[in-house]
Amino acid sequence: MGHAATASRDALRVVGIGAMVVSSDVREVLVTYSLGSCIGVTVHDPGRRVGGLIHCMLPSSKLDAEKAKTKPHMFADTGVLALLQGVMDLGADRERLVVKVAGAGSPMDPTGRFKIGERNVTMLRKVLWKNDLLLSGEDTGGTEPRTMSLEMGSGRTSIRKPGGEVEL
């Protein structure tokens, strides 16, 4: 049975830009679209089969402290902490967490002047390091938009881009 069959049978939950979803429902597939300079981060505990997905736009909540209060998931620093806390609240074991990232490209910044994607990944790595976690998979950079999905039951994280689909 292929991925398409699994996704159509299971409940698809879309994670919008600047949003986060955590789940313990093994039938769900979490998906986020149009990752350009934004980052999509999945966290999954294969033992408990709980996890989540976040779509962060900007690296640091210090850019707009007021916005960070109302929309913490927009920012990699506050959003990834919220994602980690969310899966821990569902019973995840920090020792088993599998963390993956996609996006961080420069689709509208070909000269690399702003480096938002690069800064998003740097902030993610800082947050993970402070929480004694490492990335298990990564598909970042370039100029192509990506779609990222997490199958809650299996923990399979897939990246779809114009050239096809890969598993992280």
Asked if pLDDT for residue 88 goes beyond 50, the answer is: yes
Structural domain count of the chain: 1
Q: Say whether pLDDT at 9 is over 50.
A: yes
Is 164 part of a structural domain of the chain? Answer: no
Statement: residue 36 has pLDDT above 60: yes
The pLDDT value recorded for residue 2 is 41
- Please indicate, yes or no, if residue 168 is contained in any of the structural domains: no
**Band of pLDDT at residue 3, cut at 50, 70 and 90:** very low
Domain that includes residue 56, residue range: 3-157
Span 105-145, pLDDT tens digits: 986 666 666 789 999 999 999 999 999 999 999 999 998 99
In a domain, 73, yes or no: yes
Mean pLDDT within 90-114:
86
Average predicted confidence (pLDDT) for the chain: 91
Instruction: Specify if 90 maps to a domain.
Output: yes
Mean pLDDT (whole number) for 57-65: 93
Q: Is residue 166 part of a domain?
A: no
Strand order in the sheet with 39-45: 20-23, 50-56, 39-45, 98-103, 135-140
- Average pLDDT of span 27-54: 97
How many Cα atoms sit within 13 Å of 115 on the Cβ side?
A: 6
pLDDT category at 6 given cuts 50, 70, 90 is: very low
6-28 b/e with 16+ CB inside 10 Å = b?
eeeebeebebeebbbbbbbeeeb
29, 31, 35, 38: the catalytic one is 38
Q: Is 19 left (phi over 0), alpha (psi -120 to 50) or beta?
A: beta
User: Considering the domain boundaries, does residue 167 fall inside one?
Assistant: no
Task: State residue 107's pLDDT score.
Answer: 66
Is position 11 within any domain? yes
Examine the pLDDT at 38 and tell me if it is beyond 60.
yes
State residue 163's pLDDT score.
86
Say yes or no to pLDDT of 63 above 50: yes
**For residues 123 and 131, is the Cβ–Cβ distance under 8 A?**
no
Report DSSP letters for 45-96, one per residue.
ETTTTEEEEEEE-BS-GGG-HHHHHH-GGGBHHHHHHHHHHHHHHTT--GGG
76 within some domain = yes
CATH number at residue 76: 3.30.1330.200
Among this protein's residues, is 56 annotated catalytic?
A: no
